[in-house]
Amino acid sequence: MSDLYIGLMSGTALDGIDGVLADFSGPRMVVTHHASAPFAPELRAELMALNTPGDNELHRAALAGNALSRAYAGVVHTLLQQSALPAGAIRAIGAHGQTVRHRPQEFDGTGYTLQLCNPALLAERAGIAVVADFRSRDVAAGGQGAPLVPAFHQGVFGRPSETVLVLNIGGISNLSVLGADGAVIGFDCGPGNALMDHWCQQHTGQPFDAGGAWAARGSVLPELLASLLQEPFLHKTPPKSTGRDLFNPPWLSRQLGPFESAAPADVQATLTEFTASACAISANSHKNNSKILAICGGGALNNYLMQRLQAACPTLQVVATDALGLPALQVEAAAFAWLARQTVCNAPGNLPSVTGAAGLRVLGAIHPA
């Protein structure tokens, strides 16, 4: 039976979809093909809007889930064309969906996490079984439902002789601590690209600060940075996770209130320093005997951010995960291919040491082809 899986990821940065075709037939997973697609501007705007309360949300969310699933199907078809494989050669698709709410353990003690997707429509369009809704079972078991990638990181990047730190910088940043003894912890550090992207879009019209060039022209505002670093989430003990429910434009506006006259480039430099500092607080406090901090996600392409991370973590070598054998923009999609395989094989996909769940759980729901 085929051991080929497709993983699809669209993260909190809302910059589009990454998809991989992963082969698990050998001793180690191999990504054979990678495809990506930007969001149509109207879909991106709607997904962003659905992160906050608004009118007619149920109707709008359902239609956005349909549109997202059609876009996912387009990436699947690209991967099939690249590989010259029929749909029947793929065992399943792991589709993360688009997170628009993440409130574990809140309100009623259980809380919820919500990823928009119509996996039935995706299965219909792709002709391949779809595994989706990975986070809710962990939340139901008392966990954070995030991050889910550390178990995958351990299999791909773990080393028996030293602790390895893997930092994913998407819209939100999360750290995996892969112990030399096989122990794994992981948690969300705080903001990744979300605040920087928002400020850049607002002041330059560009969706992100390419290479961090705009931030590099600014100067860090020490008082603003100190204020940002007082955010209580940064100092919570893991397990912990967060999202745009916290680090969003209204939160940023409140922080910037006393700094209305600040130059936009200086604010961008400070937001970049804030992201680097929040990540460094986590990395430096969990580094043990690690020599390397491997970066994946879109943040790995921000040269200035990578420089600031290196400055904040002087005892660690800050590199993109490309140096460890898996390109930075493929890691999360590959993780959801792995999670889909875990579900199909009736194997657990979470780590209680990461999420705080009551135990190991098989994650996700399968929608047959």
Q: What is the per-residue pLDDT across 282-304, written as a single tens digit (0 to 9) for each?
A: 999 999 999 999 999 999 999 99
Confidence category of residue 63, pLDDT binned at 50, 70, 90: very high
For the chain, what percent of residues have pLDDT higher than 70? 100
**Does 1 have pLDDT greater than 90?**
no
pLDDT digits (tens, 9 = 90+) for 68-108: 999 999 999 999 999 999 999 999 999 999 999 999 999 99
Closest-CA residue to 48 (of 96, 95, 97, 99):
99
Q: For the purposes of burial, counting CB atoms within 10 Å of the CB of 162, is it exposed (0-12), middle (13-18) or buried (19 or more)?
A: middle
Q: With contact defined as beta carbons under 8 Å apart, do 89 and 4 qualify? A: yes
DSSP state of 162: B
Radius of gyration of the chain (CA): 20
Per-residue pLDDT tens over the stretch 248-272: 999 999 999 999 999 999 999 999 9
| pLDDT above 90 for 187 | yes
Q: Can you tell me the distance from the alpha carbon of 270 to that of 146, in angstroms, rounded to the nearest whole number? A: 27
**Any idea what the Cα angle at residue 149 is, between residues 309 and 241, rounded to 5°?**
70
For residue 116, the model assigns a pLDDT of 98
Give, as one character, the DSSP assignment of residue 141. T
Q: Average pLDDT over the chain, rounded to whole?
A: 97
